[in-house]
Amino acid sequence: MPAFTSPPNVQQFQSLVWDLVRRIPRGRVATYGQIALMLPPPPGVDVEAYRAFGPRWVGGAMANCPDDVPWQRVINSKGEISPRPGAGRQRELLEEEGVLFNEKDRVDLKKFGWTGSDEEPKQPSLF
């Protein structure tokens, strides 16, 4: 498997990532790997290589995203905010949106995870 340090067309890949992340609703999160799997492998990159490198490329896209991308909604596969400068601000923004963290500083991905649907989850009716 060839080693890819970045996607063949960085600008195109990052644009696809940002467009997808803009669809994550308020109060929901997605993982780097999940975002990668929602996008097709770039031309010339086989599926196995893409599975290995795609989440890192998504991380690179998020590190360079424009201001209108809700970067705070992308977290790691453990449901944690990856340690780096800005991690505290990311948590603040998520908590302002209603995302809760447990005692291990993790988000319950079953409860707050986004599945790729543009619809908000339906709230159970009280009637």
Kindly list the domain boundaries of the chain, sorted by start residue.
10-108
Average pLDDT for the chain: 90
Q: Given this model, what pLDDT does residue 120 score?
A: 52
Q: How many CB atoms lie within 10 A of CB 64?
A: 13
The third-level CATH classification (topology) of the domain covering 10-108 is Arc Repressor Mutant, subunit A (1.10.10)
pLDDT, tens digit, 9 for 90 and up, residues 38-92: 999 999 899 999 999 999 999 999 999 999 999 999 999 999 999 988 899 999 9
Q: Given this model, what pLDDT does residue 84 score?
A: 87
Q: Given this model, what pLDDT does residue 5 score?
A: 79
Could you say which DSSP state residue 89 is in? Answer: H
pLDDT > 60? residue 15: yes
